[in-house]
Amino acid sequence: MHIHWRTSVDVIAQILRRHGVEQDSVTDVEAAWGAFAEFLQLDIDGLDPTPDSDADGFIIQWGRRSWSDNRLILTFTRQLAIADIGDHDERYWQPGLWQLDLELAFDDEADLIGLDRLDVQDTGFRFPPVGPLRAAALTDTWAETRRHAPVRAAWIATPASSTLSFECVC
Nearest to 74 by CA among 60, 91, 87, 92: 60
E runs forming strands in 83-143: 96-106
For the segment 30-38, the average pLDDT, to the nearest whole number, is 97
Higher confidence at residue 165 or residue 96? Answer: 165
Burial of 27 (0-12, 13-18, 19+ CB in 10 A): middle
pLDDT of 161 > 70? The answer is yes
Cα three-residue angle 98-101-106, rounded to 5 degrees: 155
Amino acid type, 36? F
Tell me what the mean pLDDT of segment 34-53 comes to.
90
Please tell me the predicted confidence (pLDDT) of residue 49: 80
Does 86 score more than 90 pLDDT?
no
Average pLDDT over residues 78-93: 76
Residues near 134 by Cβ (< 8 Å), separated by ≥ 6? 40, 41, 128
- Beta-ladder partners of 114: none
> Taking 70 as the threshold, does the pLDDT of residue 120 lie above it?
yes
Contact 35, 12 (CB under 8 A): yes
Per-domain boundaries in the chain: 2-168
Nearest-Å Rg of the Cα atoms of the chain is: 16
Enumerate residues 6+ apart whose C-beta is below 8 A from 102.
12, 16, 23, 26, 32, 36, 75, 76, 77, 162, 163, 164
Q: How many helices (H) and strands (E) does the chain have?
A: 4, 6
Q: What is the pLDDT of residue 52?
A: 72
More confident site: 113 or 13: 13
pLDDT of residue 139: 96
Q: Provide the whole-model pTM.
A: 0.93
**How much of the chain, in percent, has pLDDT values that exceed 70?**
95
